[in-house]
Amino acid sequence: MLLREEFHSCSHWFGPALDKLIETVKALITSETLCGLLHLVLDLGNFLNEGKSFGAATAFKIESLLKLSDVRSVNPKFTLLHFLVQVVQQHYPHYLSVRDEFPHLKESCGVCTEAISKEIQKLQCRLKVMVNQVEKEDDPPEDLLTFIETAKTEMDQLEARTVRLTELTNQCADYFSEERSSFRLSSCLQTFSTFFTKMDSAEQELRQMDLEQKKAKKTEEGLCEFDPNLEISMMKRTGLMPANDYLWEYSPRM
* Beta carbons within 10 angstroms of residue 12's beta carbon: 11
Q: What is the pLDDT of residues 40-59, one digit of tens each?
A: 999 998 888 887 766 678 88
- Residue 72 phi/psi, 5-degree rounding, is -110, 155
Q: Identify whether 5 is part of a domain.
A: yes
Q: What is the mean pLDDT of residues 18-29?
A: 97
Q: pLDDT tens, 171-184?
A: 999 999 999 999 99
Using one digit for the tens of pLDDT, what is the confidence trace for 119-169?
A: 889 888 988 988 888 888 888 888 888 888 988 999 999 999 999 999 999
pLDDT confidence of residue 97: 93
Residue 8 within a domain: yes
Contact 65, 41 (CB under 8 A): yes
User: Please, is 70 exposed, middle or buried when counting C-beta atoms within 10 Å of its C-beta (0-12, 13-18, 19+)?
Assistant: exposed
In a domain, 140, yes or no: yes
Domain count, the chain: 1
Report yes or no: 62 and 176 within 8 Å, Cβ to Cβ. yes
Q: Could you give the CA distance from residue 96 to residue 7 in angstroms, rounded to a whole number? A: 42
Closest CA to 20 of 156, 116, 154, 118: 116
Q: Is 84 exposed, middle or buried (0-12, 13-18, 19+ CB in 10 A)?
A: buried
Q: Which domain holds residue 173?
A: 1-31+112-183
Grouping H, G, I as helix, E, B as strand and the rest as coil, residue 164 is helix
- The rounded distance, in Å, linking the Cα atoms of 196 and 98 is 8
Q: Give pLDDT, residue 243.
A: 42
Distance CA 63, CA 195 (A): 9
Q: Is 72 strand, coil or helix?
A: strand
Q: Which of 39-48, 181-190, 245-254 is the most confident on average? A: 181-190
| Rounded distance between C-alpha atoms, residue 67 and residue 245, angstroms | 58
CA-wise closest residue to 147 among 13, 19, 18, 6? 6
- Whether 249 has a pLDDT exceeding 50, the answer reads no
For residue 148, being part of any structural domain is answered with: yes
Are 7 and 127 in contact, with CB atoms under 8 Å apart? yes
Is 79 in a helix, a strand, or coil? strand
Higher pLDDT, 64 or 51: 64
Per-residue model confidence (pLDDT) at position 244:
44
In a domain, 159, yes or no: yes
The mean pLDDT of 232-238, rounded to a whole number, is: 49
Angle at the Cα of 25 from the Cα atoms of 20 and 26, rounded to 5 degrees? 100
- Residue at 20 is within a domain: yes
